[in-house]
Amino acid sequence: MREGNGGGGMRGAVCLLAVLPVLAADGLVTNGTTGKPQGGATVTLYGITPGAGPEPLASVKSGADGAWKIDKPFQGRGFIQTAFDGVTYNHMLQPGAPMAGIQLSVFNVSAKKGAEITISNHMLLLEPQGDKLAVRESYFFSNAGKVTWNDAANGTLRFVVGREPLGRVEVNATAPQGMPIKRVAEKGRGKGEMKVDFPIKPGETRIDLAYTLPYASPSRFQTRFLLPATQAMIAVPNGVSLKGAGIKDEGKEPTTQASIFRVDAQALDLVMEGTGDLAGPGGGEEAASKGPEIEQIKARPYDKLAVLLGLAFAILACGFALLFRREARK
């Protein structure tokens, strides 16, 4: 009898679990520009399956009061994407994180670049190897305002490739608190000009470029900067010289012995001589053990990498230090 009663209790517990309601994801969408609840935004729940990528699970519209609710079972990793006025905003979800009361933010959009939007840093790494010059560029946009800049017609990033690249220009763009995603570099209006359509949201946005040019030492490197930056720098590996008007030699980065140049002009016509890379003398394992890690990004197909590169400069008390790292391959 005891065994029979115990079995009935277990079946009752199973039945009770079966009728428990599925916990819903819910929250509020707020317009960061107006500070008011935002109705009519599309809220989509995505699940992330290893090897398969994001998969949309359910989608709803926020109400007039900004409230939204998704009645969909969810376990594991994922994110909520909110679409408003042609721009999407992602909110990452971690396993075990609360699914109730999730606060989502969107912003009004303008095709006109606001005064609060600047390029705080523009970094270039030039690596001549053999008959090819690998060029890596990183643009860091700072949007201190409360409006998203999205100019699909003209692009938010416009740049010049000095000569016809060997292959396509690869682009990786990272929104504030977002993941790097691929974008397409399209032809711009002027000769040699290209553009990238990517919204510049409030916060910091980073856009990375990678392309390869033909090279023969000595060689001219010509370019124009269509968007002024607060600070623009060029780095070349040890063993490579760079001369011309519009740049100022700031010395060597101590770990890799890379030469660092400050850019003081909007157009450059430089002479480059020699070959080298950051994995050469002064940039190998021994150097890495003595200072900040700097990993070389070889010229290779970009679609094999989840993130192309990280390139940043820090101003030290007695000079400049270059930090160039590759993100983990996904």
Q: Is residue 330 part of a domain?
A: no
Among residues 88, 26, 75, the alpha carbon closest in space to that of 48 is found at 75
The residue from 106, 132, 166 where one domain ends is 106
What is the per-residue pLDDT for 279?
64
CATH of the domain at 31: 2.60.40.1120
Question: Structurally, how many domains does the chain consist of?
Answer: 2
For the full predicted model, state whether its pTM sits above 0.85: no
Structural domain containing residue 71: 2-106
User: Which CATH number do you get for residue 160?
Assistant: 2.60.40
In a domain, 90, yes or no: yes
In a domain, 111, yes or no: no
Q: Count Cβ atoms within 10 A of the Cβ of residue 240 and give its class: 0-12 exposed, 13-18 middle, 19 or more buried.
A: buried
pLDDT at 48: 86
pLDDT tens across the length of the chain (330 residues): 444 454 554 444 444 333 434 457 999 999 999 999 999 999 999 998 888 878 999 999 999 999 999 998 877 789 999 999 999 999 998 888 889 999 999 999 999 999 999 999 999 999 999 999 999 999 999 999 999 999 999 999 999 997 889 999 999 999 998 889 999 999 988 888 999 999 999 999 999 999 999 999 999 999 999 999 999 999 999 999 999 999 999 998 888 889 999 999 999 999 999 999 876 444 333 333 333 333 333 333 333 222 223 333 333 222 333 333 333 344
pLDDT score of 287: 34
Q: Same domain, yes or no, for 92 and 11?
A: yes
The pairing of strands 108-110 and 147-149 is parallel
Single residue among 77, 106, 135 that ends a domain in this structure: 106
Spacing of C-alpha 57 from chain mean position = 25
- Predicted confidence at residue 23, as pLDDT, reads 58
Domain assignment of residue 68, yes or no: yes
**What pLDDT is attached to residue 10?**
45
Q: Which residues of 198-234 are buried (b: 16+ CB within 10 A; e: fewer)?
A: bbbbbebbbbbbbbbbebeeebebebbbbeebeebbb
Q: DSSP class of residue 113?
A: P
Q: What is the pLDDT of residue 24?
A: 78
Which stretches within the chain are classed as H helix?
Answer: 2-19, 285-288
Pair (68, 170) in one structural domain: no
The amino acid at 96: G
Query: Is 112 domain-assigned?
Result: no
Q: Same structural domain for residues 195 and 89?
A: no
For residue 120, give every residue at least 6 positions away whose Cβ sits within 8 Å of its Cβ, in sequence order, or none: 140, 141, 142, 204, 229, 230, 231
